[in-house]
Amino acid sequence: MILRPPQASLASGTLWSLYSYGVLICIRCHDYRRQDLVLGAILYALVPCHLFVAYIIEYSAARSAQGVVGMRKKNETGTMTPEDETNAWAHDPTWRNIALAHGINASFCLLVTSFVVYSYIHHPLIGTICQVHAIIVWLKNCSYAFTNRDLRHAMLHPASPVTLPLLYSTCPYPKNITLGNLSYFWWAPTLVYQPVYPRSTDIRWGFIAKRLAEVAGLSVFIWLASAQYAAPVLRNSLNKMASLDIASIIERLMKLSTISLIIWLAGFFAIFQSALNALAEVMKFGDREFYTDWWNSPSVGTYWRTWNKPVTHFMRRHIYSPLVGRGWNSDLASAMVFVFSGLLHEVLVGIPTHNIIGVAFLGMVLQIPLIKGTLPLERMQGTNGKVIGNCIFWISFCLVGQPLAALLYFFAWQAKYGSHEEKEQEEEEPASMKRAKWKSIQQRLA
């Protein structure tokens, strides 16, 4: 048995793909319509307008809050008791109307985009870009509303035991309600609103150029790998899916797991290491921990807490912590986070592919038992438990999660827009000649 280095194995797979399918790269072969580009551009331009609607709503709320504070200062008969103030806050229709306006504005942003993408944008990549942008703006809208609600509550209730971070004192509410402050949050690489962020002093343009070059190079690599390797594997899986050939489906999943992992890692590096750091440098954004060493995760839960820090901060700040603060059990609050995340994943994947089949939602919800199952391994003394937990994470990540979801959504797309009975590619030359050629290729790589 001859052992080959990983580079040889990768080259071997690449040559086999070229030999089996030929060169599948085609710059002009794009399955998109002019309407997709026009509507995508319109959505991308209009979605951020909802942030400025949120600014108008919050500006009105700040004026109302200043009026309440001014009336209290002029009150010569004394101040209300804390209980009366709390009741007044809970039943004052002004604050309920403000919350309702924020909710309608944020929801309208996501609903309109989802409707247009599902109904009128055929190309899944263009639809995905629109959905990602809309979800990011929706999350920023929600965080802007929630955080300013808390700041407004702290201003109206100075005797409240809730303490604000010292950093916020440099820009107290309502001085933070400005277009400049909101515009910075719009472009900052974070989903959690703060009146003030840690800032760097200079912009390193050479650093930005390197990061942008990485994004460009990795984007080309992802396109080449998807077209040359992933697409043929997916197409050749359709007839096996249609006939429920379990053994062949598992074999296709094993094939797909390799290229899907490579593409995912390239995309992860392009976004979290290159693009977000370039954007942070332009914005002089100081907090640049966008991820930690998730690849060493001793449990599935650790992976979800470390691979995407901006989303983790949002979930903890605006979903998990408020639920726990209201008396929810921590496990139940965590489950609610994954249910919410599952809904977002289904919106992100199901709507651009025009197939809301629940696979993305179910994939996120099924993480809950995996997290509970691997948590004892993380807490075990020594390294054995952590190694086992890390192995479980990688198996679920590589073999079950992404390739299976890609296969199911691709099958659903073909069932809706094309024939799922994929024709087998029959070579004109005999099988013995094919094996001989492939053996010669392997000998050159040895």
Written as one string, the DSSP assignment of 331-393 is HHHHHHHHHHHHHHHHHHHHTTTT---SHHHHHHHTHHHHHHHHHHHHHSSSSHHHHHHHHHH
pLDDT, one tens digit per residue, over 96-136 is 899 999 999 999 989 999 999 999 998 899 999 999 999 99
How many other CB atoms are found less than 10 A from the CB of residue 55? 19
Q: What's the one-letter identity of residue 59?
A: Y
- What pLDDT score does 2 carry? 40
Strand partners, 199: 285
- What pLDDT score does 82 carry? 57
- What pLDDT score does 184 carry? 94
Which parts of the chain have pLDDT scores under 70?
1-31, 73-92, 160-162, 418-446
Task: Enumerate the active-site residues.
Answer: 345
Structure tokens at 330: 């921590």
Alpha carbons 141 and 52: distance in angstroms, whole number: 9
- What pLDDT score does 441 carry? 43
Q: Which of 198, 211, 204 is nearest to 287 (CA)?
A: 198
- What pLDDT score does 5 carry? 44
Query: Which value, in Å, is the radius of gyration of the alpha carbons in the chain?
Result: 26
Alpha carbons 132 and 138: distance in angstroms, whole number: 10
Alpha carbons 174 and 65: distance in angstroms, whole number: 9
Assessment of whether the complete model's pTM goes beyond 0.75: yes
Alpha carbons 414 and 374: distance in angstroms, whole number: 36
Residues 6+ apart with CB under 8 A from 359: 346, 349, 350, 404, 405, 408, 409
